Structure 1
């Protein structure tokens, strides 16, 4: 939630509040925009939802696809990859590029990168390819 910034584009926001202030809001972990939500605040609810609603499905053997906006995804990736608050604020996500995580033995293993299309863009499309890749990984271990 961008609070008073809701509905404004980057240029309008910079003109109204100044480029430095906008940069601070967009790239800080714990500084929210006026009446809005910081990445830290977003992480509290997004990660809680992930733990309560998504992890139980993964534990039961289901495949789950998550689609969300930037800070929600950053929050979940921070949790899955155990990133620090400093690391997550520089995390760039590509729009519409799928990422694949494999849940194995209680751990999340990322396949692909959040900065561009990689193997995740291929393997995330079909379960058969994902299972094939998992068998290859298992043979290497």
Structure 2
């Protein structure tokens, strides 16, 4: 039976990660550390074959992917950019300091905004909302590549990748809340044809 590889990578450290700010859809680039993280991730996956890569419309994910392509010599690998893979929107919280927001609204409320499955911050998205845009895009645009035995790399964001993990691993809302996705640590999925058919 055919097996196909899917690799997921969260972008390198961004300027707002460093400053402890809510980032969301703010188009913030990666830091010097983020560039180093991207190079390290590239060395971990360099021996893989990649046929196509997917990323978000945000520069921190695109820049991370560009570094990976350069280090691995994958400049000819086609890249598909789509906002469906963007980080979840934090709405009115974007750009704000997380410590200041916690002081203003209290730890319990900020925890709900950041870590619950279906509570959205003001004007933003919950993880459930993010799931509802990531998974249809995955089924429509990425799954067909995997079903054609193409090896796929996705470079995206903490919450868009958590939504994808939830789907790929059949996790409950409670289980996904326990999962952290570190910057630039590759996640490997060896997907059998049978498993791919079940993801349809």
Name stretches of at least 5 consecutive residues in structure 1 with no aligned partner: 109-141
The structure with the largest helix share of the pair is 1
Q: Partners of 1:59 and 1:105 in 2: how far apart?
A: 7
Name stretches of at least 5 consecutive residues in structure 2 with no aligned partner: 1-88
Partner of 2:175: 87
The structure with the largest strand share of the pair is 2
Question: Is the aligned partner of 1:38 residue 2:121?
Answer: no
What is the number of residues matched between the two proteins?
A: 108
- 1:106 to partner: Cα distance: 3.1
What is the Cα-based RMSD across aligned positions, in Å? 1.1
SS in 2 for 1:66: strand
- 1:95 to partner: Cα distance: 1.1
SS in 1 for 2:99: helix
Partner of 1:16: 104
SS in 2 for 1:46: helix
Q: Partners of 1:106 and 1:8 in 2: how far apart?
A: 45
Q: Structure 1 segments of 4 or more deviating over 2 A?
A: none
Partner of 1:76: 164
Q: Which structure is larger by alpha-carbon Rg, 1 or 2?
A: 1
SS in 1 for 2:155: coil
| TM-score, normalisation: structure 1 | 0.73
Partner of 2:143: 55
SS in 1 for 2:190: strand
Deviations for 1:40-91, whole angstroms, at most 9, x for unmatched residues?
Answer: 0000001111111100000111111011111100000000000001111111
The one of the two structures with greater contact order (alpha-carbon pairs below 8 A, sep at least 6) is 2
| TM-score, normalisation: structure 2 | 0.52
